Chain A
Amino acid sequence: MEEFTVPIGPQHPALKEPISLRMTFDGEVVKHVDVRLGYNHRGMEKMAEERSYIQNLYLTERICGICSHSHTTCFAQGVEKLMEIEPPRRGLYIRTLVAEIERVHSHLLWLGVAGHEAGFDTFFMYTWRDREIVMDILESISGNRVHYAINTFGGVRRDISEAQKQTILDSLGLLKQRTEYYTDIGTTEPTFVARIKGVGKLSKELALSLCAVGPTLRASNVKSDVRKDDPYAVYNEIPFEVCTADTGDVFGRVVVRVNELFECYKMIEFMLKNLPAGDIAVKAPRRVKENEVVSRYEAPRGENLHYIKSNGTDKPERLKVRAPTLANYPATVEMLKGCFIADIPLIFAAIDPCICCAERMVELVNVKNGEASVVSFSDLKKLASVQYKKCGNKPEPISIAKQLQKIRRKS
């Protein structure tokens, strides 16, 4: 069989979000992979420049639906540094607590997705059922299940009561018990292990040189974790281990994530038992003087990075978000080379991709000659009317409001 190229995506059942993976196959073996992004661009960074800092806090929360707390914390930490304020310790503890509970929910979710990609739907249903416990904890703390909105500049918005502490500790016992069961299944169930062992190998050297992050990097036996290497919030006070695996395959990534779950439970318990008394937030100024900062944060998927530049007003001049998924793409391309068609969804899912988080630009590519170009919106409008004329239509001056009205009238 000669080599042939197939587009996996932008629409494919294995992908929950649009991304295009152009794969060259030789029979059932993948020879080459070309990742194409830009199907889910939302212009978040540009939006951030037009909003005030406090509005941006809620905007960054919406970068991702799963690690929502990661983005807002990363942003808040950076801005707090620019504002030169220090949140009180109780506030930092609650912030870290939510971060760790979020990690539990993200890892449980990922376990289910991994099960589903391997056709193990029972595992998927079970992990997602027990993920509800974590979601309930998050709801009891913040009032929300997805976008917790717990952060504010200079601390957090909601306190934790003694009764809440007790309910969280109670549900933790059940979660621990369930996670032990999942560890047992995920690492010993023969058909599942047969699918994930030795699949998507990534050596330590390659992982480092391709700048992989998070569990993907740690599964290749690199002890790297922002929480340990560059402690933020209260991570220097909390005892925890950085979990690694030495197999460097999807199996290793499962092991790293389930072990991290146990570390999370330990940390949550420690934080609840040692929650310091005091205020949860300090007052933050509205304007931020001219400066720039890079904020690092260990999201469930890996290192999250926000670059914030302030210009003395109440709006940032520039916000740059480097989501962990983006850092893992180069490594994914290497992992996919030489794998079977059947392994593609598993390997791709193993980095826990969040595609829309990583979308930073749209590139216009001419289909005929493959030329890429950057076009401003007004040029795009002009181009459209030229094209419209070519089709024999009489171009009207384009008004978006009128167009919208037309569409509405039609529907």
Chain B
Amino acid sequence: MDILKTLLYLFVYPGLLFLLIYSTFCEWFDRKLYARFQNRMGPMHTGQSGILQPIADIIKLLFKEDIVPEKADKSIFSALPVFGLAIVCTAALYLPVWHYCTKVSFNSFPGDLIVVAFLLSLPTLIFFLAGWHSTNFFATIGAVRVLTMLFGYEVPLLLALLSPAILADSWRLSEIAAFYQANPFLLLANILGFCIAVITLQAKLERVPFDIPHAETEIVGGVFTEYSGKKLAFFRLLSDIEMVVGAGLIATVFMGGFPGGLWWGLLNFVIKTMVIIFLLSAMRAACSRIRIDQMVSFSWHYLAPLAVLQIFIVIILKGFLR
């Protein structure tokens, strides 16, 4: 029975199948919101209100010609999209969605917060390698920008994720979530950290105003310039799933997780991640792209000090609570 449940967990919910479907839904939701913010209609024709458009896009890409540049390292160039997709799908397994159990298992153990944060920073490395191995000028510039940006947002994001963990006195996602379900008012203490986490998640997902590594008017497609067909489809899926996992991580840590077993947990997950995606879309619509130097100085001048301030607040609060 346990094996069956594990298999279900890995492949159906919240594993591969659910992730694929929900991430494409989130892409549609994001696109539709972004379009409505811009006074456009967004996807309209595939399915009800264009809800199947992202799936149609991916299917279309799967059938497109797949070109590998002559000078590129073929094996690495082809392997990177698969690796990237595997990494973000693995990261999704650690979100405390269904298994709301207290016992330690393969996907819930002390320190899984750090594991998810680490797994979420690996796609950045994948993007860098993808750009670097494309041997294209625009891709190389994009690759360098990906790494430069990593130094900007990674530290504030980690610091922001740490503060709720410190207050909950645990490094385990399900325990952090359980702590805040028991004391929902303490969530208010982490408001600053929540804002920082959402902004840095936007940077991690490389969306406006942080879409510097693939700014189309500057460096064409950035790291994806040479990618086409199936590989590009994989990268797009990767970005979608990364968005879901990132939103899920923030929802777990800052919004009290997803209690209520299978069905209520699912509803919780969907609503909370959609709230975060709504914030991400609004940010995307309201800003213009900033320069790489502005991005790095912004995160070190504002985000990182504010994240440290958040940790101070939490430590002082913890002193009072004791």
Q: Which A residues are closer than 8 A to B by beta carbons? A: 6, 12-14, 28, 115-123, 125-126, 129, 189, 191-192, 194-195, 340-345
Contacts and interface: CB of A to CB of B under 8 A. Distances in A.
B218 A192 contact: no
B219 A120 contact: no
B294 interface: yes
Contacts of B211: 119
A370 B286 CA distance: 48
B290 A6 contact: no
A194 B295 CA distance: 11
Counting chain B CB atoms within 10 Å of each CB, the highest count among A116, A119, A120, A343 belongs to: A119
Nearest to B289: A119
A126 B219 CA distance: 25
A119 B292 CA distance: 13
Interface string B281-300: 00001111111111000000
Contact of B40 (A118, A125, A343): A125
A121 B37 CA distance: 10
Nearest to B219: A341
A189 B288 contact: yes
Nearest to A4: B137
Interface in B211-234: 211-212, 215-220
19 contacts: A13-B217, A14-B217, A119-B215, A119-B217, A119-B289, A120-B287, A120-B289, A121-B38, A121-B208, A126-B38, A189-B288, A191-B209, A191-B289, A192-B287, A192-B288, A340-B293, A342-B289, A344-B218, A345-B217
B290 A195 contact: yes
Contact of A341 (B37, B218, B290): B218
Nearest to A123: B288
B48 interface: no
A123 B208 CA distance: 13
Contacts of A194: 290-291, 294
A184 B141 CA distance: 34
B75 interface: no
Question: Chain A: interface secondary structure?
Answer: helix
B288 A129 contact: no
Contacts of B287: 120, 189, 191-192
B39 interface: yes
Nearest to B144: A28
A114 to B, nearest CB: 10
Contact of A119 (B37, B141, B286, B288): B288
Contacts of A343: 291
A122 B37 CA distance: 7
Which are the 10 A-B pairs with shortest beta-carbon distances?
A119-B289, A120-B288, A125-B38, A14-B217, A118-B288, A192-B288, A345-B217, A191-B287, A342-B291, A191-B288
Contacts of A121: 38, 208
A192 B40 CA distance: 21
Given A119-B289, A195-B288, A345 B218 contact: yes
B217 A122 contact: no
B209 A119 contact: yes
Nearest to B216: A13
Nearest to B286: A122
A102 to B, nearest CB: 24
B137 A6 contact: yes
Given A121-B38, A125-B40, A129-B39, A342 B288 contact: no
